[in-house]
Amino acid sequence: MSKSLHDQTLALAGVFQAAALVQQVAHQGQCAEGSLEASLRSLFATAPESTLDVYGELKDLREGLSALVSVLTEQSHRQDVDILRYGLNLIQLEARLNKRRDMLEVLSDRIEQARHTARHFGYTHHNLVANLASIYTDTISTFRLRIQVTGDPKQLQVEDNAARVRALLLAGIRSAVLWRQTGGRRWHLVFYRSRIIAKARELAEQANRSVYDGPTD
């Protein structure tokens, strides 16, 4: 697995894309379908040839790259505080998970069992989302450290929304695993912050061009 800043930034964008989508679902009861699919699909990328293969194309990480830049710079939006907290908590939880080989095996087995549901229904179907949410509840939620999701109580009380939040948190953990595998460490967020921001901006611009420029000869 490559340990370049490029790959670390992609994986970190995956963490913060999941965090941003959690924030949107918690407050609005909805999020971008394409971004949701990319995040949930990443859970089933168990033998990727590259870091980007985990998510699909660069455009599939646009939301995560944008969120990463925003939360590491001025935090100009109120939601940035929640997104940053979720992202850091996901990284912290993954560090604890990495010490639990028994739980890692359970996660691997349960996600593999869910692969058939994903193939049959698609990555955003409520059957798969509910399945992934139950995996999160049975594993990550048993840690003493719990991610406190804040938002509109009416939205969070909707069963489908609560399931999407848990499924996205599971996807965020998967990206945190990838970040560690590519050499990412928590102290990098402090000492390499400016480099991460610059790389995320560069990748975000590339992602936007791939969307708006269209095919070229």
Dump pLDDT digits (tens) for 65-92: 999 999 999 777 889 999 999 999 999 9
**95-117: average pLDDT:** 96
Q: Is the whole model's pTM more than 0.75, yes or no?
A: yes
**94-119: average pLDDT:** 96
Q: Could you tell me the CATH number of the domain that includes residue 147?
A: 1.10.3890.10
Residue 38 in 3-state DSSP? helix
Residue 193 lies in a domain: yes
Mean pLDDT taken over the chain: 94
Residue 87 lies in a domain: yes
Number of neighbours of residue 154 by Cβ within 10 angstroms: 9
**37-58: average pLDDT:** 95
Residue 217 lies in a domain: no
- Rg for the chain, CA atoms, rounded: 16
In the DSSP assignment, the letter for residue 215 is: -
Count structural domains, the chain: 1
Give yes or no for a contact between 210 and 172, defined as CB atoms under 8 angstroms apart. no
Residue 198 lies in a domain: yes
Residue 19 lies in a domain: yes
Give yes or no for a contact between 17 and 67, defined as CB atoms under 8 angstroms apart. yes
Q: Please tell me the predicted confidence (pLDDT) of residue 212.
A: 62
Q: Please tell me the predicted confidence (pLDDT) of residue 14.
A: 98
Percent of the chain with pLDDT over 70: 96
Residue 177 lies in a domain: yes
Residue 164 in 3-state DSSP? helix
Domain span at 164: 5-212
Q: Please tell me the predicted confidence (pLDDT) of residue 216.
A: 42
Q: How many residues does the chain have?
A: 217
Residue 146 lies in a domain: yes
**117-135: average pLDDT:** 96
Residue 105 lies in a domain: yes
pLDDT at position 192 over 80: yes
Q: Please tell me the predicted confidence (pLDDT) of residue 74.
A: 76
Q: Please tell me the predicted confidence (pLDDT) of residue 131.
A: 97
Percent of the chain with pLDDT over 90: 90
In the DSSP assignment, the letter for residue 48 is: -
